[in-house]
Chains A and B, each alone.
Chain A
Protein backbone atom coordinates (compact mmCIF):
# COMPACT_ATOMS: atom_id res chain seq x y z
CA UNK A 1 0.00 0.00 0.00
CA UNK A 2 1.09 3.55 -0.70
CA UNK A 3 0.43 6.07 2.08
CA UNK A 4 0.86 9.65 0.92
CA UNK A 5 -0.09 13.03 2.33
CA UNK A 6 -3.01 14.92 0.80
CA UNK A 7 -0.78 17.99 0.24
CA UNK A 8 1.64 15.96 -1.93
CA UNK A 9 -1.19 14.37 -3.94
CA UNK A 10 -2.66 17.83 -4.49
CA UNK A 11 0.72 19.12 -5.72
CA UNK A 12 1.07 16.15 -8.12
CA UNK A 13 -2.45 16.72 -9.49
CA UNK A 14 -1.71 20.43 -9.92
CA UNK A 15 1.47 19.56 -11.84
CA UNK A 16 -0.41 17.08 -14.06
CA UNK A 17 -3.17 19.64 -14.77
CA UNK A 18 -0.63 22.36 -15.51
CA UNK A 19 1.18 20.25 -18.11
CA UNK A 20 -1.97 18.70 -19.61
CA UNK A 21 -2.28 17.66 -22.47
CA UNK A 22 1.42 16.77 -22.25
CA UNK A 23 2.38 14.06 -19.79
CA UNK A 24 3.81 15.32 -16.50
CA UNK A 25 6.35 13.39 -14.43
CA UNK A 26 8.26 13.63 -11.19
CA UNK A 27 9.47 12.04 -8.00
CA UNK A 28 8.57 12.07 -4.34
CA UNK A 29 11.68 11.45 -2.28
CA UNK A 30 11.70 10.05 1.25
CA UNK A 31 14.23 8.83 3.81
CA UNK A 32 15.92 5.56 2.75
CA UNK A 33 13.97 2.55 4.00
CA UNK A 34 11.10 4.64 5.40
CA UNK A 35 8.65 4.02 2.52
CA UNK A 36 7.39 7.52 3.36
CA UNK A 37 7.05 9.98 0.48
CA UNK A 38 8.07 13.36 1.91
CA UNK A 39 9.61 15.70 -0.68
CA UNK A 40 7.84 16.40 -3.97
CA UNK A 41 10.16 17.05 -6.91
CA UNK A 42 8.37 17.90 -10.17
CA UNK A 43 10.62 16.99 -13.13
CA UNK A 44 10.70 18.28 -16.70
CA UNK A 45 9.29 15.95 -19.30
CA UNK A 46 12.19 16.08 -21.75
CA UNK A 47 10.00 14.39 -24.38
CA UNK A 48 7.28 17.09 -24.07
CA UNK A 49 4.78 14.66 -25.48
CA UNK A 50 1.14 13.78 -24.97
CA UNK A 51 1.99 10.09 -25.01
CA UNK A 52 5.52 9.77 -23.67
CA UNK A 53 7.56 11.08 -20.80
CA UNK A 54 11.25 10.98 -20.10
CA UNK A 55 13.30 12.57 -17.36
CA UNK A 56 16.00 14.88 -18.63
CA UNK A 57 19.16 12.87 -17.96
CA UNK A 58 21.12 15.79 -16.48
CA UNK A 59 18.26 16.89 -14.23
CA UNK A 60 17.91 13.28 -13.10
CA UNK A 61 21.59 13.07 -12.20
CA UNK A 62 21.31 16.24 -10.14
CA UNK A 63 18.16 15.10 -8.33
CA UNK A 64 19.45 11.55 -7.70
CA UNK A 65 22.71 12.95 -6.28
CA UNK A 66 20.77 15.32 -4.06
CA UNK A 67 18.68 12.42 -2.75
CA UNK A 68 21.87 10.45 -2.13
CA UNK A 69 23.36 13.34 -0.16
CA UNK A 70 20.19 13.60 1.97
CA UNK A 71 19.96 9.83 2.54
CA UNK A 72 16.78 9.76 0.51
CA UNK A 73 15.50 7.49 -2.22
CA UNK A 74 12.76 7.80 -4.84
CA UNK A 75 9.76 6.49 -2.89
CA UNK A 76 7.26 7.50 -5.57
CA UNK A 77 7.82 7.94 -9.32
CA UNK A 78 4.77 9.49 -10.93
CA UNK A 79 3.54 10.46 -14.34
CA UNK A 80 0.27 11.32 -15.97
CA UNK A 81 -1.67 9.72 -18.77
CA UNK A 82 -3.65 12.48 -20.42
CA UNK A 83 -6.08 10.55 -22.63
CA UNK A 84 -6.10 7.04 -21.23
CA UNK A 85 -6.65 5.31 -17.91
CA UNK A 86 -4.13 5.33 -15.05
CA UNK A 87 -2.71 1.90 -15.83
CA UNK A 88 0.94 1.19 -16.75
CA UNK A 89 1.51 0.80 -20.47
CA UNK A 90 3.97 -1.69 -21.93
CA UNK A 91 6.38 1.23 -22.23
CA UNK A 92 6.07 2.00 -18.52
CA UNK A 93 6.78 -1.62 -17.65
CA UNK A 94 9.78 -1.86 -20.00
CA UNK A 95 11.42 1.14 -18.42
CA UNK A 96 10.54 0.62 -14.74
CA UNK A 97 14.00 0.55 -13.16
CA UNK A 98 13.35 1.29 -9.49
CA UNK A 99 12.04 -1.93 -7.93
CA UNK A 100 11.59 -0.23 -4.55
CA UNK A 101 9.46 2.63 -5.87
CA UNK A 102 5.71 3.09 -6.01
CA UNK A 103 4.77 3.92 -9.59
CA UNK A 104 1.94 6.41 -9.29
CA UNK A 105 -0.21 7.18 -12.31
CA UNK A 106 -2.61 10.08 -12.59
CA UNK A 107 -5.09 10.21 -15.44
CA UNK A 108 -6.23 13.69 -16.42
CA UNK A 109 -8.49 12.61 -19.28
CA UNK A 110 -11.58 13.75 -17.35
CA UNK A 111 -11.53 17.52 -16.87
CA UNK A 112 -13.28 17.50 -13.50
CA UNK A 113 -11.81 14.46 -11.75
CA UNK A 114 -8.54 12.59 -11.59
CA UNK A 115 -7.95 8.88 -11.44
CA UNK A 116 -5.01 8.08 -9.13
CA UNK A 117 -3.60 4.56 -8.95
CA UNK A 118 -0.35 3.06 -7.74
CA UNK A 119 1.67 0.04 -8.81
CA UNK A 120 4.77 -1.93 -8.01
CA UNK A 121 6.66 -2.92 -11.11
CA UNK A 122 9.33 -5.54 -10.46
CA UNK A 123 10.97 -7.67 -13.18
CA UNK A 124 8.24 -6.73 -15.66
CA UNK A 125 5.42 -7.78 -13.33
CA UNK A 126 2.82 -5.12 -12.49
CA UNK A 127 0.99 -5.33 -9.17
CA UNK A 128 -1.61 -2.72 -8.29
CA UNK A 129 -1.72 -1.57 -4.68
CA UNK A 130 -4.17 0.55 -2.69
CA UNK A 131 -3.45 4.26 -2.22
CA UNK A 132 -4.18 5.74 1.20
CA UNK A 133 -4.30 9.50 1.16
CA UNK A 134 -3.42 10.84 4.59
CA UNK A 135 -5.46 13.90 5.46
CA UNK A 136 -3.67 16.64 7.41
CA UNK A 137 -3.94 16.27 11.18
CA UNK A 138 -4.05 20.05 11.54
CA UNK A 139 -6.78 21.61 9.45
CA UNK A 140 -4.96 24.16 7.25
CA UNK A 141 -8.18 26.19 7.07
CA UNK A 142 -8.60 26.36 10.84
CA UNK A 143 -8.47 29.74 12.56
CA UNK A 144 -4.87 30.91 12.55
CA UNK A 145 -5.37 34.43 13.87
CA UNK A 146 -7.03 35.63 17.05
CA UNK A 147 -9.20 38.57 17.96
CA UNK A 148 -7.92 41.30 20.23
CA UNK A 149 -7.90 40.05 23.78
CA UNK A 150 -7.73 36.39 22.81
CA UNK A 151 -4.88 33.94 22.70
CA UNK A 152 -5.03 30.31 21.55
CA UNK A 153 -5.71 29.19 25.12
CA UNK A 154 -7.41 32.09 26.89
CA UNK A 155 -9.95 34.80 26.29
CA UNK A 156 -9.54 38.01 28.30
CA UNK A 157 -13.08 39.33 28.63
CA UNK A 158 -12.00 42.27 30.74
CA UNK A 159 -9.17 43.43 28.50
CA UNK A 160 -7.71 44.57 31.77
CA UNK A 161 -4.81 47.02 31.62
CA UNK A 162 -1.36 45.63 32.25
CA UNK A 163 -1.93 42.40 30.41
Chain B
Protein backbone atom coordinates (compact mmCIF):
# COMPACT_ATOMS: atom_id res chain seq x y z
CA UNK B 1 0.00 0.00 0.00
CA UNK B 2 1.75 3.12 -1.20
CA UNK B 3 1.19 6.50 0.40
CA UNK B 4 3.04 9.57 -0.80
CA UNK B 5 4.45 11.66 2.04
CA UNK B 6 5.65 15.21 1.51
CA UNK B 7 8.58 16.15 3.71
CA UNK B 8 9.27 19.74 4.84
CA UNK B 9 12.72 21.30 4.41
CA UNK B 10 13.60 20.98 8.08
CA UNK B 11 13.14 17.17 8.02
CA UNK B 12 14.84 16.43 4.69
CA UNK B 13 18.08 15.66 6.50
CA UNK B 14 16.37 12.37 7.40
CA UNK B 15 15.31 11.57 3.84
CA UNK B 16 18.59 12.30 2.09
CA UNK B 17 17.15 15.56 0.80
CA UNK B 18 14.06 14.00 -0.77
CA UNK B 19 10.99 16.27 -0.88
CA UNK B 20 8.65 13.37 -1.02
CA UNK B 21 8.91 9.71 -0.04
CA UNK B 22 6.66 6.66 -0.11
CA UNK B 23 5.46 4.73 2.87
CA UNK B 24 2.87 2.17 3.90
CA UNK B 25 0.41 1.69 6.74
CA UNK B 26 -3.32 1.66 7.42
CA UNK B 27 -3.09 4.35 10.10
CA UNK B 28 -0.90 7.41 10.51
CA UNK B 29 0.84 5.69 13.40
CA UNK B 30 1.68 2.64 11.26
CA UNK B 31 2.87 4.88 8.42
CA UNK B 32 5.25 6.78 10.71
CA UNK B 33 6.65 3.51 12.06
CA UNK B 34 7.19 2.29 8.49
CA UNK B 35 8.91 5.56 7.54
CA UNK B 36 11.14 5.41 10.60
CA UNK B 37 12.43 1.99 9.51
CA UNK B 38 13.73 3.61 6.30
CA UNK B 39 14.49 7.11 7.61
CA UNK B 40 15.71 6.54 11.11
CA UNK B 41 14.88 9.33 13.56
CA UNK B 42 12.07 10.87 11.50
CA UNK B 43 9.32 9.55 13.76
CA UNK B 44 10.98 11.04 16.84
CA UNK B 45 10.67 14.51 15.33
CA UNK B 46 6.92 14.10 14.93
CA UNK B 47 5.91 12.19 18.05
CA UNK B 48 6.53 13.29 21.64
CA UNK B 49 8.09 11.04 24.28
CA UNK B 50 4.59 10.55 25.66
CA UNK B 51 3.51 9.13 22.32
CA UNK B 52 1.34 12.00 21.05
CA UNK B 53 1.61 14.06 17.93
CA UNK B 54 4.08 16.89 18.37
CA UNK B 55 2.73 20.40 18.84
CA UNK B 56 5.34 21.81 16.43
CA UNK B 57 4.13 19.99 13.33
CA UNK B 58 1.00 19.83 11.26
CA UNK B 59 0.22 16.61 9.45
CA UNK B 60 -2.46 16.43 6.78
CA UNK B 61 -4.11 13.49 5.05
CA UNK B 62 -5.12 14.74 1.63
CA UNK B 63 -6.79 18.06 2.53
CA UNK B 64 -7.54 17.43 6.20
CA UNK B 65 -5.56 18.23 9.34
CA UNK B 66 -5.10 14.88 11.14
CA UNK B 67 -6.08 16.54 14.41
CA UNK B 68 -9.62 16.37 13.05
CA UNK B 69 -9.21 12.77 11.85
CA UNK B 70 -8.22 11.08 15.09
CA UNK B 71 -4.59 12.17 15.13
CA UNK B 72 -2.27 9.14 15.07
CA UNK B 73 -5.27 6.84 14.64
CA UNK B 74 -6.25 8.57 11.39
CA UNK B 75 -7.10 5.92 8.80
CA UNK B 76 -5.08 5.78 5.59
CA UNK B 77 -5.89 4.28 2.21
CA UNK B 78 -3.77 3.37 -0.76
CA UNK B 79 -3.10 6.46 -2.83
CA UNK B 80 -3.58 8.95 0.00
CA UNK B 81 -1.27 11.93 0.17
CA UNK B 82 0.23 12.86 3.51
CA UNK B 83 1.77 16.30 3.96
CA UNK B 84 3.97 17.28 6.89
CA UNK B 85 4.49 21.00 7.59
CA UNK B 86 6.18 22.75 10.48
CA UNK B 87 3.51 24.60 12.49
CA UNK B 88 4.12 28.33 12.32
CA UNK B 89 3.49 29.86 15.72
CA UNK B 90 5.14 31.93 18.39
CA UNK B 91 4.68 35.27 20.04
CA UNK B 92 5.73 37.34 22.97
CA UNK B 93 4.17 35.04 25.56
CA UNK B 94 6.15 32.37 27.40
CA UNK B 95 5.84 28.99 25.78
CA UNK B 96 4.47 27.05 28.77
CA UNK B 97 1.82 29.70 29.35
CA UNK B 98 0.91 29.80 25.67
CA UNK B 99 0.56 26.03 25.50
CA UNK B 100 -1.61 26.01 28.61
CA UNK B 101 -3.78 28.78 27.20
CA UNK B 102 -4.32 26.87 24.01
CA UNK B 103 -5.08 23.71 25.95
CA UNK B 104 -2.83 21.84 23.58
CA UNK B 105 0.38 21.24 25.42
CA UNK B 106 3.37 19.35 24.09
CA UNK B 107 1.85 16.33 25.81
CA UNK B 108 -0.18 13.84 23.73
CA UNK B 109 -2.85 15.48 21.64
CA UNK B 110 -5.14 12.48 21.54
Interface residues of A (CB under 8 A from B): 23, 25, 27, 43, 47, 49-55, 57-58, 60-61, 64-65, 73, 77, 79, 81-84, 88-92, 94-100
**B9 interface residue (CB < 8 Å to A):** yes
Contact A47 B56 (CB under 8 A): no
Q: Given A61-B60, A61-B85, decide whether A81 and B91 contact each other with a Cβ distance below 8 A.
A: yes
In addition to A65-B83, A91-B94, 15 A-B residue pairs with Cβ atoms within 8 Å of each other are A51-B91, A52-B98, A52-B102, A53-B90, A54-B88, A54-B89, A55-B87, A58-B65, A60-B88, A81-B91, A91-B93, A95-B90, A96-B90, A98-B86, A99-B9
| CB contact list, B60-110 vs A, under 8 A | 60, 63, 65, 67, 83, 85-95, 98, 101-102
What is the size, in residues, of chain B's interface with A at 8 Å between Cβ atoms?
Answer: 25
Q: How far is the CA of A50 from the CA of B101 in the complex (A)?
A: 12
* Closest chain B CB from A24 CB (angstroms): 11
Q: Which residue of A lies closest to B101 (CB)?
A: A52
Contact B91 A53 (CB under 8 A): yes
User: Please, could you name 22 A-B residue pairs with CB atoms under 8 Å apart, sorted by A?
Assistant: A23-B92, A49-B93, A50-B92, A51-B91, A51-B93, A52-B91, A52-B93, A52-B101, A53-B89, A57-B67, A64-B83, A79-B90, A81-B91, A82-B92, A89-B91, A91-B92, A95-B89, A97-B88, A98-B9, A99-B9, A99-B10, A100-B9
Which B residues are in CB contact (< 8 Å) with A97? 8, 10, 56-57, 86-88
**B33 interface residue (CB < 8 Å to A):** no
Q: How far is the CA of A61 from the CA of B82 in the complex (A)?
A: 11
Q: How far is the CA of A99 from the CA of B12 in the complex (A)?
A: 11
Which B residues are in CB contact (< 8 Å) with A49? 91, 93, 101
**B58 interface residue (CB < 8 Å to A):** yes
Which A residues are in CB contact (< 8 Å) with B10? 97-99
Q: How far is the CA of A54 from the CA of B83 in the complex (A)?
A: 18
Among the listed B65, B88, B101, which residue makes an inter-chain contact with A25, where contact means beta carbons less than 8 Å apart? B88
